[in-house]
Amino acid sequence: MKSVNIHEAKTHLSRLLDEVSRGEAITIAKAGKPIARLGPVTASRPTRTPGFLRGKIRISDDFDEPLPVDIQKSFEGSDD
């Protein structure tokens, strides 16, 4: 892991960020002691748990039945 001092980090921030974007982690030190770390952002995905909504969603028995004609016509834009 690369280490730079604060002055170098301020002076060359764009270059350091380019290195970080390629996956390298960089430590920023003050008086030789590490105080911060620059690293690439990792996309985190939430953990998906199958069945976590079981019993919380209710689908009507007639969910897939055709809509009444008057509602179908309103979707089609006709008033007949």
Q: Is the pLDDT of residue 79 over 70?
A: no
CA dist 35 → 6, 11, 30, 31, 57 (Å) = 9, 17, 7, 10, 49
> Using one digit for the tens of pLDDT, what is the confidence trace for 5-55?
999 999 999 999 999 999 999 999 999 999 999 999 887 888 889 999 999
* CA–CA distance, 12 with 10 (Å, rounded to integer): 6
The reported pLDDT for the residue numbered 80 is 60
Q: Is the pLDDT of residue 64 over 90?
A: yes
CATH topology of domain 2-38: YefM-like fold (3.40.1620)
* pLDDT recorded at residue 47: 87
